[in-house]
Amino acid sequence: MAEEAVIKNTGLRGVTVADTKISYIDGEKGVLIYRGYRIEDIVKNSTFEETAYMLIKGHLPTSSELNEFKSNIASAASLSEYLADSMKLWPKDTNSMRVLSAAISIAAFHDRIDDVSLESYEGKATALIAAMAVAPVAWERIRNGKEPVAYSTDMSHAENILHMMTGEKPDPEVARVLDICLILHADHTFNASTFACREVASTQADIYAGVLAGLAALSGPLHGGANEKAMQMMDELKTEPDIESWIKNKLSKKEKIYGMGHAVYKTYDPRATILKELLEKLSAKTGQSALFDLCASVEDIAVKVLSEKGKDKIKPNIDFYSGTVYKMMGFPHDLFTPLFAVSRIAGWCAHIIEERFGLAQEKPSLYRPAAEYVGNYCGLMGCEYTSNT
């Protein structure tokens, strides 16, 4: 049975399924590169808008290209009356990732989804970046009985997100931290949600269908949902006198420590290192240093305990810190994963475009992996059928 199968039970780890020119990870050395640039250089020198343009178009924009891109995002960033009215009818406790999926489905109502050209897909990517940013913060206001706040052409994307949530002019330093968070989450090669987007795009389904698949994959606690779980853990540990025993107890029950470990990084996730530094600064600025100290000590203890168990390659990933950063900025817990999508939409669109328009190397059009059949088998004639009814 399936004797030719060479690779078994891989979960696709280390299996190359396509070429890409968008991003690169060296998991052993802890290196992340977008379009040839190291993430450390990008966060020092760039903004989310410029990074998103680069991911989608393949090159850094000139200032006029960047201005046009920003103005296209702003033009697309109005909450449709239909969506606002619909949100008012949705149960207030609806899962916010479901809200986001519904908002993106509704955005597709207003678009020509049958228009398949590179130019049209790049335009749709801009509209999706706008729609993804507007929906979660509008939902936060509407479910609290407030009117949505409009996107402003005078502010950056990150400033707009904070402004659309609170209605107040954001602190520039806090907005810059959010901008960096958006850059850090914007792409990450063939992670679960991006692969879901590409897999759907490979069927020639439209860009919205691909993005909806990405949102579904991102919602899981082993992927984008980990930031909320990690924050819940910090909340629980605030009053815990013995963190080491708490962690040992979790591990003895075969439970995961959220925000730790990574399918590709076998050392520190470079995004977590950047975010930890930002969190320290943000905590000092917002008078929440005790929360930063707690995170840092949970990290130290978890790394030590895991290492004692021979798992010395399990280190914090970006989600260990991102939830705490968002909490310090005033976002509710259930918007942490949507915020991941607000950023990752740039990478998803870049990958859908690369997949759909064959911008890397040629490959078979449709993904179709094999599986090892380990079920009931009586030869190619099949087993003798005996009904149980």
Ligand X SMILES: CC(C)(COP(=O)(O)OP(=O)(O)OC[C@H]1O[C@@H](n2cnc3c(N)ncnc32)[C@H](O)[C@@H]1OP(=O)(O)O)[C@@H](O)C(=O)NCCC(=O)NCCS
Q: What CA–CA distance (Å, rounded) separates 227 from 83?
A: 27
CA distance 87 to 79: 11
Residue 70 or 271: which CB sits closer to ligand X?
271
Residue 243 or 251: which CB sits closer to ligand X?
251
What residues does 25 pair with on adjacent strands? 32
Strands (E), the chain: 23-26, 31-34, 37-38
Q: Which residues pair with 37 in a beta bridge?
A: 34
- Per CB under 6 A, the segment of 25-33, 79-87, 103-111, 258-266 that binds ligand X is 258-266
> Residues 383, 386, 389, CA angle at the centre, nearest 5°?
145
How far does the chain reach from its first CA to its final CA, in angstroms? 29
By beta carbon distance, the residue nearest ligand X is 261
38-43: list long-range contacts, CB under 8 Å, 24+ apart: 39/183, 39/184, 39/270, 39/271, 39/274, 40/270, 40/274, 42/183, 43/180, 43/183, 43/184, 43/274
CA distance 180 to 37: 15
Region binding ligand X by CB under 6 A among candidate stretches 253-261, 293-301, 327-335, 339-347: 253-261
The residue type at 314: I
| Residue 166 Ramachandran class (φ > 0 left, ψ -120 to 50 alpha, else beta) | alpha
- Sole binder of ligand X in the list 1, 12, 222, 374 (CB under 6 A): 222
Choose which of 34, 195, 258, 292 interacts with ligand X (CB under 6 A). Answer: 258
Q: Contact with ligand X (CB under 6 A): which of 178, 186, 226, 282?
A: 226
Residue 248 sits in the site that holds ligand X (CB under 6 A):
no
Q: Which is nearer to ligand X, 220 or 332 (CB)?
A: 220
319 is catalytic: yes
To the nearest whole angstrom, how small is the minimum distance from the Cβ of residue 359 to ligand X? 26
Which of these is catalytic: 185, 223, 319, 351?
319
Nearer to ligand X, 314 or 353 (CB): 314
3-class DSSP assignment, residue 324? helix
**CB of 272: closest distance to ligand X in angstroms?**
9
Kindly indicate which of the ranges 34-42, 313-321, 344-352, 381-389 contains the residues binding ligand X, using the contact rule CB under 6 A: 313-321
Binding mask 67-96 for ligand X (x = CB under 6 A): ------------------------------
Number of residues that bind ligand X (CB under 6 A): 15
Which positions from 152 through 181 interact with ligand X, judged by CB under 6 A?
none
- d(CA 25, CA 333) in angstroms, rounded, equals 29
**What's the residue count for the chain?**
389
Q: What distance lies between CA 23 and its chain's CA centroid?
A: 15
Task: Considering only residues 259 through 298, tell me which ones interact with ligand X, judged by CB under 6 A.
Answer: 259-263
Stretch of residues binding ligand X (CB under 6 A), selected from 161-169, 200-208, 310-318, 334-342: 310-318
Is 262 an active-site residue?
yes
Catalytic residue among 223, 262, 269, 351: 262
Minimum CB–partner distance for residue 219 and ligand X (Å): 12
Interacting residues toward ligand X by CB under 6 A: 222, 226, 251, 256-263, 311, 314, 317, 319
The catalytic site residues sit at 262, 319
